[in-house]
Chain A
Amino acid sequence: MTSQTYTIVNPTGFHVRPIKDFVKKASEFPCKIYVTSKGKRVNGKSSLSMLTLGIAQNEEVLLETEGEQEQEAQETLGKLLTEIHE
């Protein structure tokens, strides 16, 4: 189990397009992936659940990975959380 907090810098928050990239990547990993924002924890492989988090710019989110390739998933997905997607 790995967990780390990230700050979203994407100016439009973390919505449709960044979520699409995130979920596609997340789905390639065998481990479980959870994203927590404002106290709500959802499945990081579900784009709909990720949307319901309504993650805004400058918000902090917690990324947890658990299982096979958890370390690699944490690194790859953590990077996506802190990128600018426009």
Chain B
Amino acid sequence: MTTTIQGIAASPGIAIGPAFVIAAEAYVPTKTNADDSQAEVTRFRQAVAQAGEELEKIRLSTIERLGEEKAEIFEAHQLVLEDPDLIDVIEEQIVNEGVIAEYALHEAAQSFVTTLREMDNELLRERAADVEDVAGRIMNALRGRKGSTLSSIQEPCIIVAEDLTPSDTAQLDLAIVRGFVTKVGSRTSHSAIMARSLGIPAIVGAGDRVMSLTTGDRLVVHAAEGRIVVEPDAEELATYEQEQQRYLQKQRELARLKDEPTVTKDEHRVELAANIGSIEDMQHVLDNGAEAIGLFRTEFLYMGRPSLPSEEEQYNQYKYVLEKMEGKAVVIRTLDIGGDKELPYMELPKEDNPFLGQRALRLCLARPDLFRTQLRALLRASRHGQLKIMFPMIAVLSELLEAKQILQEEKEQLLKEGHDIADNIEVGMMIEIPAAAIGAAIFAPHVDFFSIGTNDLIQYLMAADRMNEQVSYLYQPCHPAVLQLVKTVIDAGAQHGCWVGMCGEMAGDERAIPLLLGLGLHEFSMSAAAILPARGQLAELSYTSWQEWSHTALGLSSEQEVLELVASRTQSV
């Protein structure tokens, strides 16, 4: 009978094949006295040297296979081999207590492993595996064992193990290893990260049950769903094989799109950008072929800390993002605090209605000190790439003009202080208040771009909190009234030569994309993971047809009707 085991999705894909189980081998040396302490120290040093040579080989082959960045972990391992708090301590114990090297090594390594395992930061807990990896390598050298069990694999298989060390994972032979499953681990384990960069299906943290599998058991690993199917019947196997083929086909198409421009079937060009909240998102952005950053939410720089970030700190972060994008546009939104995002250290007065209160630019204009620091950091960073500055939560023109005035003052001040500032910084505004959307033509002559923030715009338009389950049904991105408003903004922008983008969730919604294309949206900014699928979808759409169909959508009377229209038109094409 078929059984399934559930684990954590570490790296997507579907693998089908026999299991190869690596039994956990826990070697615990007993406290034994050595005959000659000096000889024991020498033996230990030789083992460390041998481990160092092995690591250097793995590091070099990893650079070749996966690049410098993935190989860095082995530099960290090499550093462990020179760590005075580990190596010196072991040598002292060998000399002072007269024990064998194996015992001293085990004791010292375990003390670090235990400390790291107990830390409250998951990333640090994962580092315990690094210590075990390095200590295991020295131990094997001491015991005269070479290489790992993995090198004995000859036939195509799915590896099942307690855990895979970073060096195990980096050395996997992709010609024969189809995927792996581990008992322990999390999405941030090194084995999981390595699996994602190797593009090999993997499930981690599947628990004790995987260790009861035996080598040769037929497995299906549906990694995206974290599901391991043991001994599937013929029918199930056929279904998974089909799904695997579809997945591989899709992957090939998407990978091909990564460095391609975004164009529709009839050669209309649009731009796909990424939304980010911190510089940690950058790798993901680059991996997914974003053509720009359409929204950098700077408030996260201000949150989860005891005091305001300094100009220098902000400058460094903005510079980092601009440099990583290598000249591609980066839209940075000025502080959007208030509403559901609070900063305890600012001690802002409690408001009855924070979403309608003094949030975002309203707060910045009331607290120019705060605002000016951020603008200075932005202006100084501008010379490191193509910066575009965006102001959030504008309702009336005077707010925009005041913000632009302050920006101008800071620019002049910085130039006076001798700083370099790019002279082509575009300035734009977010459209998230209905008054600004309806009145977009009022603002258009004063900005270079609009970016429609649909998450808030729809809430304000419908007067419904989408987090409130009782009224969340009113959150309808494809409602004709929302589409009409989007059209008003796009048309106003077009008349005054300013480009229009969208940075709300709607921009990455596959049901909304055809409509937004048809309405003439230029830039779609979404989470990085949505970019390649969106590029694939857009390549299948006809701009001319959707211009007509989205016009039809504007005349319908419910979101339901609009969605039915989209479904029927996308299927028939």
Q: How far is the CA of A17 from the CA of B130 in the complex (A)?
A: 13
1/0 per residue A9-50: CB within 8 Å of B?
Answer: 101110111001001100100000000000000110111110
Q: A11-B278, A27-B82 are in contact. Are A20 and B75 (CB under 8 A)?
A: yes
Q: A11-B280, A43-B84, A48-B112 are in contact. Are A54 and B124 (CB under 8 A)?
A: yes
Task: Determine whether A86 belongs to the interface, using a CB cutoff of 8 Å to chain B.
Answer: yes
Q: Which residues of A contact B121 (CB under 8 A)?
A: 13, 15, 54, 56
Q: How far is the CA of A46 from the CA of B119 in the complex (A)?
A: 18
* Closest chain B CB from A53 CB (angstroms): 9
Count of interface residues, chain B, beta-carbon cutoff 8 Å? 31
The listed residue (A15, A20, A48) touching B72 by CB distance below 8 A is A20
Most buried by B among A15, A46, A58: A46
Instruction: Spot the interface stretch: B200-208, B236-244, B312-320, B367-375.
Output: B312-320
The listed residue (B75, B80, B320) touching A48 by CB distance below 8 A is B80
* Closest chain A CB from B332 CB (angstroms): 16
* Closest chain B CB from A56 CB (angstroms): 7
Shortest Cβ distance from B130 into A: residue: A16
| Residues of chain B in range 110-126 having any CB-CB distance to chain A below 8 Å | 112, 115-116, 119-121, 123-124
Cβ–Cβ contact A43 & B85, under 8 A: yes
* Closest chain A CB from B113 CB (angstroms): 10
Q: Which residues of A contact B279 (CB under 8 A)?
A: 11, 84, 86
Cβ–Cβ contact A52 & B119, under 8 A: yes
Q: A9-B316, A11-B280, A57-B305 are in contact. Are A46 and B124 (CB under 8 A)?
A: no
Q: How far is the CA of A49 from the CA of B79 in the complex (A)?
A: 12
Q: How far is the CA of A61 from the CA of B284 in the complex (A)?
A: 31
Count of interface residues, chain A, beta-carbon cutoff 8 Å? 26
Task: Determine whether A1 belongs to the interface, using a CB cutoff of 8 Å to chain B.
Answer: no
Task: Determine whether B131 belongs to the interface, using a CB cutoff of 8 Å to chain A.
Answer: yes
Q: A48-B131, A52-B116, A86-B320 are in contact. Are A12 and B280 (CB under 8 A)?
A: yes
Shortest Cβ distance from B120 into A: residue: A54
Q: Which residues of A contact B414 (CB under 8 A)?
A: none
Cβ–Cβ contact A23 & B305, under 8 A: no
| Residues of chain B in range 304-348 having any CB-CB distance to chain A below 8 Å | 305-306, 313, 316-317, 320
Most buried by B among A45, A48, A49, A51: A48
* Closest chain A CB from B225 CB (angstroms): 29
Q: A11-B280, A58-B305, A84-B316 are in contact. Are A20 and B84 (CB under 8 A)?
A: no
* Closest chain B CB from A7 CB (angstroms): 9
* Closest chain A CB from B120 CB (angstroms): 7
Q: How far is the CA of A43 from the CA of B112 in the complex (A)?
A: 14
Q: How far is the CA of A12 from the CA of B127 in the complex (A)?
A: 15
The listed residue (B84, B124, B278, B306) touching A51 by CB distance below 8 A is B124
Q: A43-B85, A48-B86 are in contact. Are A23 and B79 (CB under 8 A)?
A: yes
Task: Determine whether B259 belongs to the interface, using a CB cutoff of 8 Å to chain A.
Answer: no
What secondary structure prevails in chain B residues at the interface with A? helix
Q: A11-B317, A20-B76 are in contact. Are A48 and B85 (CB under 8 A)?
A: yes
Task: Determine whether B83 belongs to the interface, using a CB cutoff of 8 Å to chain A.
Answer: yes
The listed residue (A17, A51, A57) touching B116 by CB distance below 8 A is A51
Q: How far is the CA of A15 from the CA of B72 in the complex (A)?
A: 13
Q: How far is the CA of A48 from the CA of B116 in the complex (A)?
A: 9
The listed residue (A16, A48, A57, A84) touching B83 by CB distance below 8 A is A48
Cβ–Cβ contact B320 & A84, under 8 A: yes
Q: How far is the CA of A38 from the CA of B123 in the complex (A)?
A: 19
Q: How far is the CA of A26 from the CA of B378 in the complex (A)?
A: 34
| Residues of chain B in range 267-323 having any CB-CB distance to chain A below 8 Å | 278-280, 282, 305-306, 313, 316-317, 320
1/0 per residue B130-159: CB within 8 Å of A?
Answer: 010000000000000000000000000000
Q: Which residues of B contact A58 (CB under 8 A)?
A: 305-306
Q: A16-B76, A17-B72 are in contact. Are A54 and B84 (CB under 8 A)?
A: no
Q: How far is the CA of A63 from the CA of B529 in the complex (A)?
A: 41
The listed residue (A24, A56, A86) touching B79 by CB distance below 8 A is A24
Q: Which residues of A contact B305 (CB under 8 A)?
A: 57-58
* Closest chain A CB from B276 CB (angstroms): 12
Cβ–Cβ contact A47 & B116, under 8 A: no
Cβ–Cβ contact B120 & A52, under 8 A: no
* Closest chain A CB from B150 CB (angstroms): 24
Q: Which residues of A contact B80 (CB under 8 A)?
A: 47-48
Report B's interface with A, CB cutoff 8 A.
72-73, 75-76, 79-80, 82-86, 112, 115-116, 119-121, 123-124, 127, 131, 278-280, 282, 305-306, 313, 316-317, 320
Known: A20-B79, A51-B116; 18 extra A-B contacts, CB below 8 A, are A11-B317, A15-B127, A17-B76, A20-B75, A20-B76, A46-B83, A46-B84, A46-B86, A47-B76, A47-B80, A47-B83, A48-B83, A48-B131, A51-B124, A52-B116, A54-B119, A54-B121, A84-B316
The 9 closest A-B pairs by CB, nearest first: A46-B85, A58-B305, A49-B85, A47-B79, A84-B316, A52-B115, A9-B313, A48-B112, A46-B83
Report A's interface with B, CB cutoff 8 A.
9, 11-13, 15-17, 20, 23-24, 27, 42-43, 45-49, 51-52, 54, 56-58, 84, 86
A-B CB contact pairs (8 Å), 13 listed: A9-B313, A15-B124, A16-B73, A16-B76, A16-B127, A42-B85, A43-B84, A46-B86, A48-B131, A51-B127, A52-B116, A54-B121, A84-B317
